[in-house]
Amino acid sequence: MFSFHHVTLSVRDLSVSEGFYKGLGFESVYRWQDEADQLQICHLQLGQAVLELYCFRPENESETISDFPPWASGFRLGLRHFALQVSDLDEALSALHGAGLLVEKPSVVCGQSCARYVFIMDPDGNGVELLEGPLVNIQRPE
């Protein structure tokens, strides 16, 4: 009955964030902007995964995010990070660094549920985990 469709991130600058995620291998598949130029939406796809970027720009710069309707606004509990699997973490980090998407390479950590991983941040501080190797079978409590 249910199937995963997308993850949505609110971002400050759509072009900057779109460029960051394109550097991670995503392709732009959809763009929309409202007539008042207050909301821009971009869908990016990587394999079957869809990432939706929302960029709110209030007409009056004194407006805050909390002035938007509940579905669009304010502080909320939500996304901690999402993960992208790579075949070679060192190669992926070198490519991102070489493309200017990372100022410095983060230290790789040996994982409990995967071989190795790192966390990086997108331009708005959203966490992206890069993990190497397949996820292991985690022992379930009886």
Predicted confidence (pLDDT) per residue in 21-69, tens digit = 999 999 999 998 888 888 888 999 999 889 989 888 766 655 555 555 4
Q: Where in the chain is the domain with CATH 3.10.180.10?
A: 1-76, 80-142
At 89-113, the pLDDT tens digits run 999 999 999 999 998 889 998 876 6
Instruction: Tell me which residue has tokens 């995503």.
Output: 26
Closest by Cα among 23, 40, 22 to 31: 40
**Is pLDDT above 90 for 2?**
no
User: Read out DSSP for 11-25?
Assistant: ES-HHHHHHHHHHTT
CATH architecture, domain 80-142: Roll (3.10)
The residue type found at 48 is Q
Which CATH number does 1-76 carry? Answer: 3.10.180.10
Count how many Cα atoms sit within 13 Å of the Cα of residue 41 in the half-sphere of its side chain: 12
Q: Is the pLDDT of residue 71 over 50?
A: no
Q: What is the pLDDT of residue 1?
A: 41
